[in-house]
Amino acid sequence: MPTSVVLFTADLRLHDHPPLRAALEGGHEVVPLFVRDSGIADPFRGAPNRLAFLDDCLRDLDAGLRSRGGRLVVRSGDVVEEVCKAVTEADADDVHMAADVSAYAHLRERRLRSALEAEGRRLHVHDTVTTAVAPGAVTPASSDHFAVFTPYYRQWSGRRLRDTLGAPRAVRVPAGVGSEELPSRSAAGVSPGLAEGGETLGRKRLAAWLRSGVAAYEDRHDDMAGDATSRLSPFLHFGTLSPVEVVHRVRRVGGPGAEAFVRQVAWRDFHRQVLAARTDAATADYRTKHDRWRSARTAREDVEAWRAGRTGYPVVDAAMRQLRHEGWMHNRARLLTASFLAKTLYVDWRIGARHFLDLLVDGDIANNQLNWQWVAGTGTDTRPNRVLNPLTQGKRHDPDGAYVRRWVPELADIEGGAVHEPWKLSGRDRSAAAGYPDPVVDLAEGLARFRRARGRE
């Protein structure tokens, strides 16, 4: 019986899974393999929220395979060694996996290909598994990737996406390929409000979103208290949802909400095609502005206040506390907290990006590092020196202050938009806000420091 190994990475699903479908073609047996890869560096490997979500995804994937007659094979160690062992144990002819974009993913693919070829086996790498449009599939005339989103999006929108594939009816796994026990969800260091993972839940969330969320997306996506975005990001990050399927299904709903939403999914592909072409952008400035950032040492107190949600700017603090509590943050909150750290406090964007990666359940090298760079003005933003004012942002996107009151208990008794400026409170309201810190920085001074640093006085 011909046999293939399917190496699952950031594509933990059965629906619309090109590597699995290709492996099953012609009635092959398959070894559905997931390797807990010791080569993936912290913080990409060690973040408790993502590890807990990953455990959910693996258990759900295993359950889905079992209901089709198969099972998931889980191993720990060096990914190349483990794949080669599984190939030998199953006497497999080839290995199928999804393409990915980071420097590590490129290295993994090269190592795997040469190890397999040395054994006379083949590696098949499938694109459009973790992106809707493959990196490099659309390019400008003079470069291998787009550095500006708008022209990228124009071309991206014009691409015909491949058809969605259904989940397989049956999966046969050869006997004699052992697996580690599937762990139950790890609890250590996990945010108390962390969402549950898995393809089953991801598909339910997508269905609910199509029914009753996406239509209002264009109008409500910035309403921080309304929480009116899809929260599909962790499911897309772990690949329990296929971006191709998401785009097809959202487009079928149609209307301005659907269009605005698909545009955001295109941002995800955009960052991936940047990182695929410039893997060093995960840590180095994509377009340096020769910043001499304040460091974790020189800005220690400011960084601590930012991480703890105690900057004295309520909307910033609410957002940072949401991150700690849920392992997730609203996009508007990510924008304004990142701008506050990198521009108002003029702290190295890498310090903020690392903190996000430590906590975000959707923490993703491409999306996190390149969004941080976009905000810091070292990335692809065409207005790199814009600074978001947290007061204006709070009043605009949380006008009634409900988002702040939800996350900052010291301010829970302050009514309405006044909650954004606790330093202006008097009398009973002032005492109600006791325990809430004074601002760590004067906004005008922060802005002046940033403008000086960028030579724009």
Ligand X SMILES: Cc1cc2nc3c(=O)[nH]c(=O)nc-3n(C[C@H](O)[C@H](O)[C@H](O)COP(=O)(O)OP(=O)(O)OC[C@H]3O[C@@H](n4cnc5c(N)ncnc54)[C@H](O)[C@@H]3O)c2cc1C
CB atoms within 10 A of CB 67: 12
User: Least separation, in Å, of the C-beta of 243 and ligand X?
Assistant: 8
Give the Cβ contact number of residue 418 at 10 Å. Answer: 14
Nearer to ligand X, 232 or 404 (CB): 232
Q: How far is the CB of 336 from ligand X (least distance, A)?
A: 9
Looking at the Cβ atoms of 37 and 223, the one nearer to ligand X is: 223
Count Cβ atoms below 10 Å from residue 30 Cβ, excluding itself.
26
Phi, psi dihedrals of residue 212, rounded to the nearest 5° = -140, 20
User: What residues have CB less than 8 Å from 171, skipping those under 6 apart?
Assistant: 20, 24, 30, 32, 65, 68, 69, 70
Residues 314, 315, 321, 325: what is their CA dihedral angle, to the nearest 10 degrees? 140
- Partners of residue 265 on adjacent β-strands: none
Closest approach of ligand X to the CB of residue 334, in Å? 4
CA separation, residue 250 to residues 34, 211, 221, 257 (Å): 30, 10, 15, 9
Least separation, in Å, of the C-beta of 358 and ligand X? 11
Specify the residue, 33 or 206, whose C-beta has the smaller distance to ligand X.
Answer: 206
* DSSP symbols for 234-252: HHHHTTSS-HHHHHHHHHH
Radius of gyration for the chain, computed over Cα atoms and rounded to the nearest angstrom: 23
CA proximity to 274, closest of 340, 366, 349: 366
What does the alpha-carbon distance between residue 155 and residue 144 come to, in Å, rounded to a whole number? 14
- Which residue in 126, 60, 117 sits closest to 93, CA to CA? 117
Closer to ligand X by Cβ: residue 302 or 362? 362
The residue among 3 and 230 lying less far from ligand X, judged by its C-beta, is: 230
- What minimum distance in Å lies between the beta carbon of 239 and ligand X? 11
**In the bound complex, what is the minimum distance in angstroms from residue 88's beta carbon to ligand X?**
36
Q: Please, which residue, 165 or 260, has the CB nearer to ligand X? A: 260
Q: Shortest approach of ligand X to residue 180 CB, angstroms?
A: 28
Buried/exposed 141-174: b ≥16 CB within 10 Å, e otherwise = eeeebbbebeebbeebeeeeeeeebebbeebebe
Query: What is the residue-wise DSSP string for 163-229?
Result: PPPPPPS-----TT---PPPPPPP-TT--TTPPP-SHHHHHHHHHHHHHHTGGGHHHHTT-TTTT-S
The percent of the chain in helix, strand and coil, each rounded to the nearest 5, is 50, 5, 40
**CA pair distance 228, 219, nearest whole angstrom:** 9
In the complex, least distance from residue 335 CB atom to ligand X, rounded to whole angstroms: 5
**Nearer Cβ to ligand X (68/231):** 231
**Site residues (vs ligand X, CB under 6 A):** 221, 229-233, 236-237, 261, 264-265, 267-268, 271, 331, 334-335, 338, 356, 360, 362-364, 367-368, 371-372, 375
Residue whose CB is less far from ligand X, 106 or 231: 231
Tokens of 394: 């709070």
Rounded to a whole number of angstroms, the minimum distance from the CB of residue 293 to ligand X is 16
Nearer of residues 45 and 231 to ligand X, judged by Cβ: 231
Helices (H), 254-284: 256-277
Smaller CB separation from ligand X, 367 or 393: 367
User: To the nearest whole angstrom, how small is the minimum distance from the Cβ of residue 419 to ligand X?
Assistant: 23
Query: Smallest gap, in angstroms, from Cβ of residue 250 to ligand X?
Result: 9
Decide whether 4 or 240 has the Cβ nearer to ligand X. Answer: 240
